[in-house]
Amino acid sequence: MHTIFKDFTFAAAHAIRGHTRGCQNLHGHNYRVRVHLAAGRLDELGMVLDFADLKTIMQEILGPFDHGVINDVPPFDRRNTTAELLSQYVFEEVERRLAAQERVRVTRVEVWENDTSCAAYQPEQA
């Protein structure tokens, strides 16, 4: 099994609905999102996936958040904006975009709010 990962960054504000320790107030982070991909076999060039292709996918997913308010972007206009839920959302969106790629699968997504705070989504293996 071959694996790759790539980091992406964006700046955004959010407020966590129902929080009672300050995070219910609008505040911002310089987020880092790390996406892990795996493939049982490499493509004809010897890659899991071209990093440029992953960058395009991630721009589609994260672009609407960059320099905005996450709470204004569906589905986070209804869903809370925790790093845990963001990591699951990104995982599912990458997975959906890679569905046509039989070789490649997303295995883990990490969302860092800062250098010391990270949430990850990685489904249980069947």
pLDDT at 124: 86
pLDDT at 126: 46
CB 34 within 8 A of CB 109: yes
Q: Name the residue among 93, 105, 96, 99 with its Cα closest to residue 41.
A: 105
* Euclidean distance between CA atoms 113 and 119, whole angstroms: 8
**Claim: this prediction has a pTM higher than 0.85:** yes
pLDDT at 51: 98
* Residues marked as catalytic: 23, 67, 113
Residue with token string 């989504």: 121
With 0-12 / 13-18 / 19 or more C-beta atoms within 10 angstroms meaning exposed / middle / buried, residue 81 is buried
What is the mean pLDDT, run by run of 10 residues, along the chain of 126 residues?
Answer: 98 97 96 98 97 98 98 98 98 97 96 98 82
Instruction: Please name each of the domains of the chain with its CATH number.
Output: 2-120 (3.30.479.10)
